[in-house]
Amino acid sequence: VMFAGDEAQQQAAFTFAAWLTSTETQVTWDEQTTFMPIRQSVADSADFQTWLNETEPRLIPFVESQQYAINRPPVAVYAELSDVFSANLERALYGQVSTEDALTNAEVAVNALLR
């Protein structure tokens, strides 16, 4: 609708998208669903901070760590990459292989998937 509709439909779609992603709406959404904020303005808002501190303080470390979050890479084989990396990391965590070997094995497997 945003791109294919007539001008009125496009405007309505834009208005809806702006409302849905607004700080006020996202604060309400996050309070009702306990989802993480999608925007810094939501995390910083007084309403969200009050709710976080009074209702869900267990989420504070997660909200604070979001500043370090990055998006997953846009590759078709991301799920396979994640599985390979996780499997190798798990082996290292259980002491089955050294950290160096786990990372080397993961590198080889990931590079093979990316070819």
Q: What CA–CA distance (Å, rounded) separates 29 from 22?
A: 10
Q: Is residue 31 part of a domain?
A: yes
Q: For residue 65, name the pLDDT band (cuts at 50, 70, 90).
A: very high
Residue 42: exposure state from Cβ atoms within 10 A (0-12, 13-18, ≥19): buried
Same domain flag for 64 and 11: yes
Q: Is residue 73 part of a domain?
A: no
Quote the tokens at residue 67.
Answer: 């500043």
Q: For residue 71, name the pLDDT band (cuts at 50, 70, 90).
A: confident
Closest CA to 28 of 40, 53, 45: 45
Q: What CA–CA distance (Å, rounded) separates 60 from 49?
A: 9
Q: Is residue 1 part of a domain?
A: no
99-114 and 78-93 helices, crossing angle to 10° = 170
Q: Is residue 59 part of a domain?
A: yes
Evaluate if residue 85 carries a pLDDT over 80: yes
Evaluate if residue 104 carries a pLDDT over 90: yes
**Which residue is associated with the tokens 């996780």?**
86
Q: Is residue 2 part of a domain?
A: no
pTM listed for this prediction: 0.62
Q: What is the pLDDT of residues 43-61, one digit of tens each?
A: 999 999 999 999 999 999 9
Bigger pLDDT: 113 vs 72: 113
Same domain flag for 83 and 109: yes
Q: Is residue 63 part of a domain?
A: yes
Show the domain range for 59: 7-68
Evaluate if residue 86 carries a pLDDT over 70: yes
Domains in the chain: how many in total?
2
Closest CA to 39 of 52, 48, 60, 59: 48
Closest CA to 76 of 25, 38, 22, 113: 113
Same domain flag for 62 and 11: yes
Evaluate if residue 1 carries a pLDDT over 80: no
